[in-house]
């Protein structure tokens, strides 16, 4: 049979990345997670720690000053940060979401302009697709861009934009030819200093409170003509291709927060005594933990498979990425809900992290395509 060491296993480098990120997360991110949530403030400590270690945007290719990490490595980074604070995990996750359209479709000039500062940690990037009336039906967007000499002029509003205000760069989708519907949407690289660009007030959210979510306003926002990402009319295709590569990162967030909740639960049930013994000695509790463990492990493997599918350019990448995102996020909601239950009354208070994890887990079922949309995507691909 020969040496099977590499058979269906992560590399030593992947395991080393996990160990390094877990160390940083436990030392420099976890201690601030409750405060970040309570004060709805950006996790600057996490940003500094991740940037110093080069874990803030691991996916950017080496030719633009990045780490050039593979998709599984990036998922491991996001997973390990989300294990202690989902808000902080949106730093590497959204840097990937915002920059993926540029990596996939932009001209070399736009790549050279935008990617090096993100790789260096001098800037962050966000992704502007959704609007109030164009959520799941993203192609119904009304933000417009028109060519005016050597400039594009944008008008409209984007909604629910993660890390808005913190990010310097924004990948924005806008309609350039209304007649062509989805094929009339183009993508643009917008800088926060561009004239006519503004960021709205922060949404008051159930969870991920450390990551600002705002509207973006474009009022005759004028950008150089060469900042279009790809050819006119290809923006929506770029947006959908981007999601094939980023949905596994949402799965990774979900796996991370679920693992954090399970780890907290295991520690708690060993210590907590009722009826003269630790509650971990009761089979009812043990079976809950067993179910949590099974689901997390299944979700983790599916996420890595999806990440690898994107890396390998597998034809079923859209289906497996949708599966990973939907399955892992459903698992995260189940596991964090059970974690609160295992902690009992204590779990419902902010003295323990599991109620925050439950609130944070919910968004993974909603953003980057609701789980209902993921199921549509999966079914459509099966029935083709």
Q: Which residues are catalytic?
A: 368
Nearest CA among 373, 313, 351, 378 for reference residue 129: 373
What's the CA gap between 155 and 131, in Å, rounded? 13
Residue 87 host element (H or E) = helix 86-105
Nearest CA among 135, 73, 117, 127 for reference residue 97: 127
What's the CA gap between 184 and 171, in Å, rounded? 17
Residue 189 host element (H or E) = strand 185-191
CB 302 within 8 A of CB 328: yes
CB 321 within 8 A of CB 249: no
Enumerate residues 6+ apart whose C-beta is below 8 A from 125. 94, 95, 98, 99, 102, 114, 118, 167, 168, 169, 170, 171
Longest pairwise C-alpha distance within the chain: 79
Helix, coil or strand: residue 151: strand
What's the CA gap between 280 and 35, in Å, rounded? 30
- For residue 113 the two structure tokens come to 């302009």
CB 186 within 8 A of CB 154: no
- For residue 227 the two structure tokens come to 């900042």
């Amino acid at each position: 049979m020969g040496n099977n060491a590499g058979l269906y296993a992560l590399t030593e480098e992947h395991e080393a990345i996990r160990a390094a990120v877990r160390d940083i997360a436990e030392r420099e991110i976890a201690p601030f997670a409750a405060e970040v949530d309570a004060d709805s403030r950006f996790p600057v400590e996490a940003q500094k720690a991740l940037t110093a270690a080069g874990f803030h945007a691991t996916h950017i290719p080496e030719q633009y000053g990045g780490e050039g990490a593979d998709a599984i490595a990036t998922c491991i980074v996001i997973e390990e940060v989300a294990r202690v604070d989902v808000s902080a995990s949106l730093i590497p996750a959204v840097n990937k979401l915002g920059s993926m359209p540029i990596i996939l479709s932009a001209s070399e000039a736009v790549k050279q302009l935008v990617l090096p500062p993100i790789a260096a940690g001098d800037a962050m990037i966000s992704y502007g697709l959704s609007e109030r009336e164009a959520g799941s039906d993203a192609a119904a967007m009304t933000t417009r861009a028109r060519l005016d000499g050597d400039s594009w002029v944008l008008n409209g509003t984007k909604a629910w934009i993660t890390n808005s205000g913190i990010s310097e760069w924004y990948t924005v989708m806008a309609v350039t030819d209304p007649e062509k519907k989805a094929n009339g949407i183009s993508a643009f690289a917008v800088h926060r200093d561009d004239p006519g660009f503004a960021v709205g007030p922060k949404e008051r959210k159930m969870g991920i409170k450390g990551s600002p979510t705002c509207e973006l306003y474009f009022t005759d926002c004028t950008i150089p003509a060469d900042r279009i990402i790809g050819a006119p009319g290809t923006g929506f295709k770029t947006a959908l291709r981007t999601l094939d590569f980023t949905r596994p990162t949402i799965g990774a967030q979900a796996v991370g927060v679920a693992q954090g909740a399970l780890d907290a639960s295991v520690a708690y049930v060993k210590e907590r005594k009722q009826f003269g013994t630790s509650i971990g000695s009761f089979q009812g509790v043990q079976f809950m933990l067993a179910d949590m463990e099974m689901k997390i492990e299944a979700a983790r493997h599916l996420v890595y498979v999806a990440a690898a599918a994107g890396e390998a350019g597998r034809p079923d990448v859209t289906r497996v990425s949708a599966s990973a995102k939907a399955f892992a996020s459903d698992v995260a909601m189940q596991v964090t809900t059970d974690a609160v239950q295992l902690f009992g009354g204590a779990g419902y208070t902010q003295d323990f992290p599991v109620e925050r994890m439950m609130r944070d887990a919910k968004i993974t079922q909603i953003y980057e395509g609701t789980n209902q949309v993921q199921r549509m995507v999966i079914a459509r691909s099966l029935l083709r």
